[in-house]
Structure 1
Amino acid sequence: MGPSANTSDFNGWVAHDPSAAEGKMEWGTYQPKAFEQTDIEMDISHCGVCGSDIHTLRSGWGPSEYPLVVGHEIIGKVTRVGKDVKDLKVGDRVGVGAQSECCESCRPCKMQQESNCSKMTMTYGGRHSNGDKSYGGYAKSWRGPAAFAIPIPEGLPSEFAAPLMCGGVTVYNPLITYGAGPGKRVGVVGVGGLGHFALLFAKALGCDKVVAISRSSSKKEDALQLGADEFIATGEDPEWTTKNASSLDLIISTVSGSFPLDQYLNLLDVNGTFVQLGAPDDPLPSFSPFSLILRNLKIAGSLIGTRQHIQDMLELAKKTELKAWVQVRPMEEANQVLIDFEKGLPRYRYVLKN
């Protein structure tokens, strides 16, 4: 049944300071949140590696609260269930994404838009409503609210399901929200962890045209295999923005570096939408509002996704036999995986396996 005492130590990769991002996490014990009757525990089988993990380890988005265990693409088997949990049982295979608790009372929560909760608990590096720290999935076990543990459909392999819990839903949400599907032309900026999911899902949703957009053509063959119909290499063709003007209805931007926003807006047709997912350290460059006004364009942002998004996405992934491009690595190699991730080696997601 798993640990019985509320304060049982768990084992995982613990970060003690920002140097952990350079492959200096230490395997050791840490104290998870106190077990409440609305919680579950699981034995972790797989945990995806997300760029957010490294940003948080190095305190890149503001000071992180150490000690810290990262990882928010967690798959495992339930080993303990609180008395108040009605819909999960010991032995169920579940996944936990980037969010593990919401306040249930703010306006977004009441609108079933809990991924924008004003007091959300992030799966690691946050605080639960009882005041305890939240710890992630680079570990043997996970303990947390059952409400954010999503059953994984039978037949969907855990190594594919893991990176869907954050990377997958982060692109699935805006694709669905802004109408991707038959009749729509979708562009994806950046062929990386998120971008590869955006191409896979745009294709799975039946979009009329899917275009991969990257600085160089080094990933062109990959993009075409992932479902892209066309490829634009912005660094290799000075005329790329005029040649492809007004050719897309929706652009999903997954890149975190600086980029010429006005040139990307030029690719959108009337009523088109540009959605930014990547979180650059620096502000985006300015652009002329006329590009918005003359063609009724919208610029949007999107953050992870709701539990309903995750459930719907997992069903679509199962139905279409969607296969994430993952490289499974042993949990013991987590430090080396971080180093390899920073070198840009994953094609296109690393998944740690216990």
Structure 2
Amino acid sequence: MADTKFEGWLGKDEKSVEGKMEWGQFKPKRWTEDDVDIEISHCGICGSDLHVLKSGWSPTPYPCVVGHEIIGKAVRVGKNVSHIKEGSRVGVGAQARSCLQKDCPDCSQGLENHCHRESINTYGSVYPGNEGKSYGGYATHNRTNGHFVLNIPEGLDSADAAPMLCGGVTVFSPLKQNDCGPGKTVGIVGVGGLGHFGVLFAKALGADKVVGISRKADKKDDVLKLGADQYIATDGDKDWAKYNAQTLDLIVCTVSSHQMPLDGYLALLKTKGTFIQVGAPDGGKLPEINAFTLLAGGIKVGGSAIGSPAEIDEMLKLAADQKVKPWIQKRKMKDANQAVLDMVDGKARYRYVLEN
């Protein structure tokens, strides 16, 4: 397997997001016995891919192969990896490595996704030393540290499982961490690729009431079909914040706009309610929050980033058990440029998955 040729869609500059990725060979990170090589069958398209292709969050170390919702077959397994067997169906999410040290305040508690010492993304990161760069899943193969490679449960279709590895766990994690379940009313702001998973997993976790919240009314029928109990269109429903005030225990916000009506969202929370931001805007800017809004309501505002390997594993098992079925559209890997353009144009309903 040492001679495996790694090929993929290379973004070479900021214009690559305009459908200008180029297919070519790339050199994966230097092999270690902690790694797993995966022959890729499926890769979801995530909004993060667009941000990185255009250097939206920070300068991208081009060339870059994006894609961090990877499903495939383990074709080479390092000697130090015990939970993955050659030939197994496996997946990789948005993280490729953390420090994994026993004295790490994050990794030692199963919070690898928050590791402050070393956080290597599945693509667009430069490894320390001379290990090379991380390359993602718009490709034939992927190489990732075995700790972040997971077995996929038998009950899950590969195309359905792929977008769960980032999009799914990004909302599953804050729902689980904030006790979404029976007796809770939950709002999901922004019902797109991430938000539609929010509705699905809030219902799968047993929330009493799930409310989809988006700007326009055109997604209402879709969101109710996904299992939501109510829909709020902030551009169309008059006095929506006043009419629905103090009705939600928890809000997970997937929107990445610094112009979103944040005060209105916070008004929907019950006293002592919680608002968790997962959408990541270019530049990191969010609307200002009035301190008295927090003080009067005893509201907690926080953030959440992807999920740990253990949370991904738990989510996949729940999805298999509860038969969680995301709304996906399959696209051929060879058509990745057009799929990216369609994603930029907001045409996905609600997640594109590339197939090799």
The TM tier, using the shorter chain, reads over 0.9
List alignment gaps of at least 5 residues for structure 2: none
What do the CA deviations read for 1:18-55 (whole angstroms, capped 9, x no partner)? 11111100011000011111111111000000000010
Partner of 1:111: 109
- In 2: Cα distance, 1:65 partner to 1:9 partner: 21
The answer to whether the 8 A contact 1:35-1:144 is kept is: no
Corresponding residue number in structure 1 for 2:280 = 279
Summarize deviations over 1:267-307 as a string: whole Å, max 9, x none. Answer: 00011001111112362222322221122110011100001
Superposition map of 1:289-304 within 5 A = 289-304=291-306
2:52 aligned residue: 56
Following the alignment from structure 2 to structure 1, what is the Cα–Cα distance between the partners of residues 326 and 201? 10
SS of equivalent residue, structure 1 residue 197: helix
1:331 is aligned to 333
Percent of pairs with identical residues: 53
Q: Give 1:128 deviation, angstroms.
A: 2.8
Which residues of 2 match residues 199-238 of structure 1 at below 5 A? 199-238=199-238
Distance 2:25 2:127 in 1: 19
Which one of 11, 19, 30 corresponds to residue 23 of structure 1?
19
Moved more, 82-91 or 158-167: 82-91
Equivalent in the alignment of 1:4: 2
Structure 1, unpaired ranges of 5+: none
Distance 2:35 2:170 in 1: 25
SS at match of 1:313: helix
- Runs of 4+, deviation exceeding 4 Å: none
Spell out, residue by residue over 1:123-165, the C-alpha distance to the aligned partner (whole angstroms, 9 max, x if none). Answer: 0001234531000000011112111100000120000100000
> Deviation per CA, 1:155-212, whole angstroms, max 9, x where unpaired?
2000010000000000000000111000000001111000000000011111011001
**C-alpha distance in 2, partners of 1:208/1:176?**
15
Kindly indicate whether residue 302 of structure 2 is the aligned counterpart of residue 306 of structure 1: no
Separation of aligned partners in 2, 1:268 and 1:184: 12
Identify the residue that residue 158 of structure 2 maps to in structure 1: 158
Contact 1:173–1:304 at 8 Å: present in 2 too?
yes
The answer (yes or no) to whether the contact 2:51–2:282 under 8 Å persists in 1 is no
Counterpart-to-counterpart distance in 1, 2:54 and 2:48: 10
Tell me what 1:144 maps to: 144
Secondary structure, counterpart of 1:133 in structure 2: coil
Instruction: Supply the AA of the counterpart residue of 1:306.
Output: S
The residue number in structure 2 matching 1:270 is 271
Mapped contact 2:84–2:150 kept (Cα < 8 A): no
Structure 2 counterpart of 1:158, one-letter code: S
Give the distance between the partners of 1:104 and 1:79, measured in 2 at CA. Answer: 24
* Counterpart residue identity of residue 123, structure 2: Y
**Whole-Å separation in 2 of the counterparts to 1:192 and 1:84:** 39
1:97 counterpart residue number: 93
Contact conserved, 1:101 with 1:128, CA < 8 A, in 2?
A: no
- C-alpha displacement of 1:9: 4.0
Residue 120 of structure 1 is matched in structure 2 by: 119
CA contact (8 A) 1:249 1:273 kept: yes
Q: Which residue of 2 aligns with 1:181?
A: 181
What's 1:246 paired with? 246
CA distance in 1, matches of 2:140, 2:290: 51
Give me the whole-angstrom Cα distance separating, in 2, the residues matched to 1:298 and 1:281.
Answer: 24
Matches within 5 A, 1:10-89: 10-89=6-85
Q: Is the 8 A contact 1:42 1:80 kept in 2?
A: yes
- For the aligned residue pairs, the C-alpha RMSD in angstroms reads 1.1
Report the number of matched residues.
Answer: 350
Q: Which residue in 1 is equivalent to 2:351?
A: 349
SS for the counterpart of 1:13 is strand
CA contact (8 A) 2:194 2:254 kept: yes
How big is the shift at 1:237? 2.2
* Native 8 Å contact 1:212 1:230 kept in 2: yes
Q: Equivalent residue for 1:194? A: 194
Displacement after TM superposition at 1:109 (Å): 1.1
Amino acid in structure 1 at the alignment position of 2:145: P
